[in-house]
């Protein structure tokens, strides 16, 4: 079964062809990072306009690289939410038009489900059930994944997403967008114990996250001491990163213990963070019966192959979308 996936929910225009929900025959991502960098974040109108220009060439490229003609496809899958509404609409309209023109079935995919199943493209895929942590620029959520299409939300952020904490922190420090990568790189030379940041504790719910206090703590630190240079900046980045990673690891393993999961799957852009990957692997090694699945960084960040994986299973379940499919910016998984 060969499925074409299309993803335009934020600032990457992506298309991919995936076979049997397991193998990416192609995986094309046209990123808009350079376009948004001078504004310090994603500008929704610029994103939509750029998706309009990129989407057909990207789809063409995905088919060409896979060596698959439209007639050989078994179906299409598109991200219809959550995300930026104008950006989502581009992918949804194009997918509907292509599905109608090529007379192929179309499935809609929740972007978060895409992240949760990205690890099925890895050489060693997980099995259900697993505990999934989606950590991206827009989301920080823990899910019990019981099967394709069957997810239960266990905890989420009350305010900023982890990626937002990275991006906003980096902005305060004068680092380029997207901040996660910049902080990750600088932190490698820094001492994570140099500056103490508050541990993000959420009262009431044991598995929820909160990162806005941390960002405020960084703001106060910078107001008091200014933005350091050289080693001082590296120390500050390492300390700030450690506070984010510490909260993620703490809640992830608490959830794994509470619900007795034997598999933990990470995904989303922040799962590409080198310190988070090392900390999760180290912590998991303390458990006898807990396997960790960390997809390669390019599977963690936004891509269309993960959308095609989720779409393959939606089509197998008989789900079909017609011309009435709408983008849903706030679609909850
Ligand atoms: O999943 P993604 O590509 O897009 C969303 O769905 O949001 O995630 C983007 C987020 C950004 O906040 C970016 O700063 C963060 O992932 N990110 C990282 C790293 N690479 C990307 N954060 C920390 N360390 C990284 N290496
Ligand atoms: Zn994403």
What tens digit of pLDDT does each residue of 248-282 get?
999 999 999 999 999 999 999 999 999 999 999 99
Helix 179-187 / helix 274-284 crossing angle, nearest 10 deg:
70
- Of ligand 1's listed atoms, the one at least distance from the Cα of 178 is 14
CATH (domain of 133): 3.30.420.40
Please state the three-class secondary structure of 98-115 as a single string: HHHHHCCCEEEEEHHHHH
Assigned domain for 321 exists:
no
Among protein residues, the one whose CA lies closest to atom 11 of ligand 1: 137
Among protein residues, the one whose CA lies closest to atom 16 of ligand 1: 269
Among protein residues, the one whose CA lies closest to atom 24 of ligand 1: 273
Q: Are residues 289 and 304 in the same domain?
A: no
Q: Are residues 68 and 164 in the same domain?
A: no
Per-residue pLDDT, 296: 95
* 132 in a labelled binding site: no
Cβ of 211 below 6 Å from ligand 1: no
CB 240 within 8 A of CB 194: no
Q: Are residues 132 and 278 in the same domain?
A: yes
- Looking at the CA of 187, name the nearest ligand: 1
What tens digit of pLDDT does each residue of 38-84 get?
777 788 888 889 899 999 999 999 999 999 999 999 999 999 999 99
Q: Are residues 101 and 159 in the same domain?
A: no
Assigned domain for 196 exists:
yes
Six token digits for residue 285: 């090694």
Higher pLDDT pick, 161 / 37: 161
Cβ of 82 below 6 Å from ligand 1: no
> Which residues, 6+ apart, have CB-to-CB distance to 111 below 8 Å?
7, 9, 79, 81, 82, 83, 307
What tens digit of pLDDT does each residue of 78-130 get?
999 999 999 999 999 999 999 999 999 999 999 999 999 999 999 999 999 99
Tell me the C-alpha distance between 60 and 45, whole Å. Answer: 24
What tens digit of pLDDT does each residue of 196-209 get?
998 766 776 789 99
Per-residue pLDDT, 237: 98
Cβ of 268 below 6 Å from ligand 1: yes
Q: ipTM more than 0.95?
A: yes
Instruction: Determine phi and psi for 59, rounding to 5 degrees.
Output: -65, -45
Assigned domain for 324 exists:
no
Q: Are residues 253 and 172 in the same domain?
A: yes
Assigned domain for 157 exists:
yes
Q: Are residues 159 and 33 in the same domain?
A: no
Q: Is the pLDDT of residue 294 over 90?
A: yes
Q: Shortest CA distance to 155 belongs to which of 208, 205, 111, 105? A: 208
Per-residue pLDDT, 102: 98
Cβ of 273 below 6 Å from ligand 1: yes
Q: Are residues 107 and 226 in the same domain?
A: no
* 137 in a labelled binding site: yes
Q: Are residues 171 and 284 in the same domain?
A: yes
Q: Are residues 142 and 249 in the same domain?
A: yes
Angle at CA 111, nearest 5°, toward 107 and 113? Answer: 80
Cβ of 166 below 6 Å from ligand 1: yes
> What is the dihedral sign for C-alpha 17, 23, 26, 31?
positive
* 311 in a labelled binding site: no
CB 42 within 8 A of CB 11: yes
Assigned domain for 277 exists:
yes
Mean pLDDT of 230-241: 97
Per-residue pLDDT, 201: 67
| DSSP conformation class of 11 | S
Q: Considering the chain, what is the average pLDDT of its residues?
A: 95
Q: Are residues 59 and 75 in the same domain?
A: yes
Q: Are residues 17 and 160 in the same domain?
A: no
Assigned domain for 179 exists:
yes
Boundaries of domain holding 265: 127-294
Six token digits for residue 109: 């995919």
Per-residue pLDDT, 317: 98
pLDDT band of 333, cuts 50, 70, 90: very high
| pTM (two decimals) | 0.94
Cβ of 83 below 6 Å from ligand 1: no
DSSP 3-state of 213: helix
Task: Specify the number of domains making up the chain.
Answer: 2
Assigned domain for 122 exists:
no
Please, what's the b/e burial string for 82-117 (b: 16 or more CB within 10 A of its CB; e: otherwise)? Answer: bbbbbbbbbbbbbbbebbeeeebbbbbbbbbbbbbb
Assigned domain for 190 exists:
yes
Q: Are residues 305 and 272 in the same domain?
A: no
């Amino acid at each position: 079964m060969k499925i074409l996936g299309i993803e335009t929910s934020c600032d990457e225009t992506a298309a991919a062809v995936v076979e049997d929900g397991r193998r990416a025959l192609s995986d094309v991502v046209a990123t808009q990072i350079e376009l948004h960098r001078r504004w310090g974040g994603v500008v929704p109108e610029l994103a939509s306009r750029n998706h309009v220009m990129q989407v057909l060439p990207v789809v063409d490229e995905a088919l060409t690289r896979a060596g698959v003609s439209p007639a050989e496809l078994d179906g299409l899958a598109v991200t219809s939410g959550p995300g930026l509404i104008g950006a989502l609409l581009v992918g949804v309209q194009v997918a509907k038009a292509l599905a109608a023109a090529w007379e192929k079935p179309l499935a809609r995919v929740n972007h978060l489900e895409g992240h949760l199943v990205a690890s099925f493209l890895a050489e060693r895929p997980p099995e259900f059930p697993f505990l999934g942590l989606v950590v991206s620029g827009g989301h920080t959520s823990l899910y019990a994944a019981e099967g394709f299409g069957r997810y239960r939300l266990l905890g989420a952020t009350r305010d900023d997403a982890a990626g937002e904490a990275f991006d906003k922190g980096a902005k305060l420090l004068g680092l380029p967008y997207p901040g996660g990568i910049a902080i990750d790189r600088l932190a490698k030379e820094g001492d994570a114990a140099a500056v103490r940041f508050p541990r993000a504790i959420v009262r009431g719910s044991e598995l929820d996250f909160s990162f806005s206090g941390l960002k405020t703590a960084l703001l106060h630190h910078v107001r008091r001491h200014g933005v350091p240079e050289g080693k001082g900046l590296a120390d500050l980045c390492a300390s700030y990163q450690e506070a984010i990673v510490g909260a993620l690891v703490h809640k992830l393993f608490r959830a794994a213990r509470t619900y007795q999961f034997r598999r933990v799957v990470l995904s989303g852009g922040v799962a590409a963070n080198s310190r988070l990957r090392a900390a999760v692997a180290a912590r998991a090694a303390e458990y006898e019966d807990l396997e960790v699945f960390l997809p390669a960084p390019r599977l963690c960040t936004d891509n269309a192959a993960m959308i095609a994986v989720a779409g393959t299973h939606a089509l197998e379940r008989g789900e079909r979308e017609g011309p009435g499919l709408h983008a849903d910016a706030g679609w909850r998984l």
